[in-house]
């Protein structure tokens, strides 16, 4: 994975990234949740070591500590001991720690971006459970959930009504006509040969002689007459076989003109 705007998820950026890799995750429901929360907690602690400092933990678990602080407000010594005990229990619980950190970051104006990666390496029922978890993160924890799955996995989940959102289709740039494209390339090569004859510095690795230029021009003239004239079925065949893949079409065309046929 490549982050194209790292400043957005830096320590003081407007967002932070939580990458959950499910490669090697257990295929049993009772073990999956433990894996998810443990992985999330470990990633958070590794990315931001400052999260486990006492003053930060007190801010993260502020709502859970409110009652303790209210009850023991009169006894400072007892209050500190009780808060420390509660912080140790909450901070050691992977699920409680992860949920609290995500809510704390969202509330402080830093968008949590949670990536669910390699989900399609698991069995389909497990995938469904992770889809639901991703939706919970987005709707209840203020996160941006990103599911990274292969196209065929998405299609399967979509058909089974596990993922039912509308697909946002990117602008589609259709393939050009191969006849038009190869015609333009032949014209370009012909014009380049003429210019190289008049201006030798345009040659690639050698000074092109007048005789070589004439041969090149004659070759392209014959090629144009052939593939756009009496042998036009060659173009039809290439277009039919390549099915819009211009790179493959060019390979077929190159094989044809160098085959000696």
- What's residue 158's pLDDT? 79
**169 falls within a domain:** no
The rounded mean pLDDT for the chain is 85
**171 falls within a domain:** no
Tell me, yes or no, whether 247 and 154 share the same domain.
no
Tell me, yes or no, whether 194 and 76 share the same domain.
no
Tell me, yes or no, whether 24 and 93 share the same domain.
yes
Backbone angles phi, psi at 168, to 5 degrees: -85, 115
pLDDT(93) > 90: yes
Digit-coded pLDDT (tens) for 97-119 = 999 999 998 888 889 999 999 98
Tell me, yes or no, whether 53 and 155 share the same domain.
yes
**238 falls within a domain:** yes
- DSSP one-letter string for the chain: ---S-GGGGSTTSSEEEEEEE-TT--SSHHHHHHHHHHHHHHHHHHH-GGGGSHHHHHHHTHHHHHHHHHHTTT-HHHHHHHHHHHHHHHHH-HHHHHHHHHHHHHHTT-EEEEEEESGGGS-HHHHHHHHHHHHHHHHHS--EEEE---HHHHHHHHHTTS--SPP-PPPP-PPPPHHHHHHHHHHHHHHHHHHHHH-GGG-SSSPPPHHHHHHHHHHHHHHHHIIIIITTHHHHHHHHHHTT-HHHHHHHHHHHHTTT-
Spatial separation of the C-alpha atoms in residues 213 and 210, rounded to whole Å? 5
**168 falls within a domain:** no
Show the CA angle centred on residue 37, arms to residues 129 and 15, nearest 5°: 95
- The CA radius of gyration of the chain, in Å to the nearest whole number, is 32
Spatial separation of the C-alpha atoms in residues 133 and 122, rounded to whole Å? 15
Domain end, chosen from 101, 127, 159, is at: 159
Tell me, yes or no, whether 183 and 155 share the same domain.
no
- What's residue 149's pLDDT? 83
Task: Kindly indicate the confidence band of residue 11, based on its pLDDT and cuts at 50, 70 and 90.
Answer: confident
**What is the total count of domains within the chain?**
2
Tell me, yes or no, whether 112 and 229 share the same domain.
no
Q: Which residue has the tokens 């992770």?
A: 130
- What's residue 208's pLDDT? 52
Tell me, yes or no, whether 28 and 78 share the same domain.
yes
Q: Tell me what the mean pLDDT of segment 64-75 comes to.
A: 87
**1 falls within a domain:** no
**245 falls within a domain:** yes
- What's residue 94's pLDDT? 93
Tell me, yes or no, whether 143 and 183 share the same domain.
no
pLDDT(23) > 80: yes
Tell me, yes or no, whether 24 and 151 share the same domain.
yes
Q: Tell me what the mean pLDDT of segment 184-194 comes to.
A: 87
Tell me, yes or no, whether 81 and 52 share the same domain.
yes
- What's residue 211's pLDDT? 64
Task: Kindly indicate the confidence band of residue 47, based on its pLDDT and cuts at 50, 70 and 90.
Answer: confident
For 83, residues 6+ apart whose C-beta sits below 8 A from its C-beta are: 58, 65, 68, 69
Domain end, chosen from 132, 159, 186, is at: 159
Q: Please, are residues 127 and 134 in contact by the beta-carbon 8 Å criterion? A: no
Digit-coded pLDDT (tens) for 133-156 = 999 999 888 899 998 888 778 878
Tell me, yes or no, whether 130 and 238 share the same domain.
no
Q: Which range marks the domain in which residue 244 is found? A: 178-255
pTM of the model: 0.59
- What's residue 76's pLDDT? 84
Digit-coded pLDDT (tens) for 200-225 = 555 554 455 566 778 888 888 888 88
**45 falls within a domain:** yes
């Amino acid at each position: 994975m490549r982050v194209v705007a790292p400043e957005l998820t830096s320590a003081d950026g407007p967002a932070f990234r939580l990458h959950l890799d499910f490669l090697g995750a257990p295929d049993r429901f009772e073990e999956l949740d433990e894996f998810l929360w443990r992985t999330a907690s470990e990633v958070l602690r590794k990315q931001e070591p400052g999260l486990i400092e006492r003053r930060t933990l007190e801010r993260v678990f502020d709502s859970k500590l409110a009652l303790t602080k209210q009850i023991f407000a009169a006894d400072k010594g007892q209050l500190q001991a009780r808060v420390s005990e509660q912080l140790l229990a909450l901070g050691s619980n992977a699920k409680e720690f992860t949920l609290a950190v995500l809510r704390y970051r969202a509330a402080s104006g830093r968008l949590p971006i949670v990536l669910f990666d390699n989900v399609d390496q698991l069995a389909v029922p497990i995938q469904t459970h992770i889809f639901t978890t991703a939706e919970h993160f987005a709707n209840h924890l203020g996160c941006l959930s990103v599911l990274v799955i292969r196209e065929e996995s998405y299609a399967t989940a979509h058909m089974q009504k596990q993922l039912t959102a509308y697909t946002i289709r990117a602008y589609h740039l259709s393939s050009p006509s191969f006849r038009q494209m190869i015609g333009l390339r032949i014209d370009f090569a012909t014009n380049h040969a003429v210019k190289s004859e008049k201006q030798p510095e345009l040659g690639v690795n050698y000074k092109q002689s007048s005789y070589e230029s004439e041969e090149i021009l004659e070759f392209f003239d014959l090629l144009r007459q052939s593939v756009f004239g009496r042998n036009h079925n060659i173009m039809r065949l290439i277009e039919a076989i390549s099915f819009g893949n211009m790179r493959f079409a060019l390979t077929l065309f190159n094989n044809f003109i160098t085959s000696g046929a």
